[in-house]
Structure 1
Amino acid sequence: MSKNLEAFSREKTYSEPVYLQVEGEIAFICFNRPDKRNALSYEIWLRIPQLIEECENDANVKVIIFKGTGSAAFSAGADISEFKTLRYTAEGAEKYNKATMIAEKSIMNASKPTIAMIQGFCVGGGCEIAVACDFRFSDEQGKFGITPAKLGLVYNTPGTKNVVDLVGPAKAKDILYTGRLLDAGEANRIGLIDRIYPAEAIKEETVRYAELICRNAQLSVRGSKKIINEVLAGAIEDSPETAELVIESFLSEDYREGVRSFLEKRKPDFKYS
């Protein structure tokens, strides 16, 4: 067992509805309302960008993993009690929607790779968060759905684009028009999730994958993420900023170390973080 997984397996007790746990080079953002299937409250949406910023400012953190507390749910969606309070008026709904979109964009725009480690239900806002991540790994009990059609709501454009980018327009329409739940097998077949693991192996396999990313040159990883995001936004050639990134990589110490290690047939020791 890796040190990251061994430390993470000794889960601590937190009272916050969402919390950050950093183990070595991996940060875990954990939804912590297991009695409510980790339902997402307004408070949680507000907290997500703050936790992302903490990860961005921590030079040791190389990968961010989102997960739910317990094995029943990543998140079963919005806290229904807020539909009759905060989200009951137009003003309140606008305030709530703004918070969700800011949180979603903070995940999408994070410079560091993000993984949603999904156990059980991943529905509504939970699926919105997962789809905003770079990768989605699920256990065999994963259940996925985006359900605004069952509530008389309209899904926002960034969230819809993320779904379309993953599964294409026809499958996105199926998911959004019907609001039905997909099991892990179907979600994987259409590209909504990337990998399926047995429940007893998902933590180990997700951490193992994160460690694979951690071992690589972070200048390359983050540069690739930035450029892929620009491609998804319509770019077909380098912007001045990405062109500079490419040139900087050739001038970096990590590039020199990569070449040396390749010629010397050893593992590289990259320094950029």
Structure 2
Amino acid sequence: MSDDLKVERSGAVATLTLDRPESRNAISLEMYRDLPGILRGIDDDSRVKVLVVRGAGTKAFAAGADISEFREVRGDAESARSYNEQVAAAEQALEGMSKPTVAMVHGYCVGGGCGLALACDLRFCDTSAKFAITPAKLGLVYSLESTRRLVDLVGPAQAKWILFSGRRMDAQHALRTGLADEAAETEELAEHTYGFAELVATRAQFSVRASKDIVRRIVAGQRREDAETTELRNSSFDTDDYAEGVRAFLEKRQPEFTWS
């Protein structure tokens, strides 16, 4: 595993840290290559219920892809295609996780860093956060999948504003458009983010993951129940967590869910 990617676990919450503070956590090709395997391991770990993705320090989530590598890893069309495939695989792996994911965004969240944040379920930022997607400043074209994630969050007009201009969007603008979900002061962001993650970890995980799956289906265009969604809903009644939830409600206590 890349030395620039660190995974830690505290209780049911795992943290994946982009750990290159000297370059504002710029994402190298090696990091992109390693992400799918790392994320698969976190998703397969029954002890983990929520993943927080962050950058090291409080200056940046990630300032983008590591541009210093571009001549080597994106010097021509063939190498660029290979590079783009690695980026897409990393973002798909993050978006495709069965467990909830929260991007904790301090400071700069630009380019490839914003791409990873968009692939998370939620984005919590500090009040100094700066979001930008900058292909128009580099002569590049943003992928359809990444653009789709952006449009899903902010709508087509705001997506065009972001992509056409390449301008930075501050935390308040990000909140207004839906790019960010919640904001807190810099010194309070970690407590705010992990408080939410730990709350989600106490909920019935069958319900949480089923909700994530159903929302994904709706975003992809599904509008009516099918056999899979009907079975998903009906099968919840057979889980121990459903029985525990009902008992806890009747006994006026907090439930202790065990499904993982």
* TM-score for the superposition, normalised by structure 1: 0.93
The 3-state SS of whatever aligns with 1:136 is: strand
Structure 1 position 88, deviation (Å): 0.9
The alignment status of 1:103 with 2:90, answered yes or no, reads: yes
The alignment status of 1:128 with 2:115, answered yes or no, reads: yes
Q: Which residue of 2 aligns with 1:190?
A: 177
Return the match for 1:211 from 194, 198, 215: 198
Q: Which residue of 1 aligns with 2:207?
A: 220
How far apart are the structure 1 equivalents of 2:152 and 2:2? 36
Q: Which residue of 2 aligns with 1:10?
A: none
How far apart are the structure 1 equivalents of 2:182 and 2:132? 17
Return the match for 1:159 from 123, 146, 150: 146
Q: Which residue of 2 aligns with 1:73?
A: 60
Q: Which residue of 2 aligns with 1:3?
A: none
**Counterpart AA for 1:107:** L
The 3-state SS of whatever aligns with 1:67 is: strand
Residues 111 and 135 in structure 2, CA contact (< 8 A), matched pair in contact too: yes
**C-alpha offsets along residues 196-244 of structure 1, whole Å, 9 cap, x if unaligned?**
1001100001000001101100000000000000000000122322222
Structure 1 position 158, deviation (Å): 1.0
The 3-state SS of whatever aligns with 1:270 is: coil
Residues 125 and 182 in structure 2, CA contact (< 8 A), matched pair in contact too: yes
Q: Structure 1 residues 253 and 247, CA, compared in 2 at 3 Å: closer, same or farther?
A: same
Q: Which residue of 1 aligns with 2:231?
A: 244
**C-alpha offsets along residues 25-64 of structure 1, whole Å, 9 cap, x if unaligned?**
0110100110000001111111111111111111010000
**Counterpart AA for 1:108:** E
The alignment status of 1:118 with 2:105, answered yes or no, reads: yes
How far apart are the structure 2 equivalents of 1:15 and 1:246? 40
The 3-state SS of whatever aligns with 1:88 is: coil
The 3-state SS of whatever aligns with 2:39 is: helix
Residues 2 and 31 in structure 2, CA contact (< 8 A), matched pair in contact too: no
Q: CA RMSD in A?
A: 1.1
Q: Which residue of 1 aligns with 2:251?
A: 264
How far apart are the structure 1 equivalents of 2:226 and 2:16? 32
Query: Any unmatched runs of 5+ in structure 2?
Result: none
**C-alpha offsets along residues 59-83 of structure 1, whole Å, 9 cap, x if unaligned?**
0100000000011110000101121
Alignment of 1:9-48 (within 5 A): 16-48=3-35
The 3-state SS of whatever aligns with 2:218 is: helix
**Counterpart AA for 1:119:** H
Query: Any unmatched runs of 5+ in structure 1?
Result: 1-13
**C-alpha offsets along residues 147-186 of structure 1, whole Å, 9 cap, x if unaligned?**
0011111100111011101110000000000000011111
Residues 2 and 34 in structure 2, CA contact (< 8 A), matched pair in contact too: no
How far apart are the structure 2 equivalents of 1:231 and 1:248? 20
Name the count of aligned residue pairs.
260
**Counterpart AA for 2:236:** S
Return the match for 2:163 from 164, 176, 183: 176
Q: Which residue of 2 aligns with 1:235?
A: 222
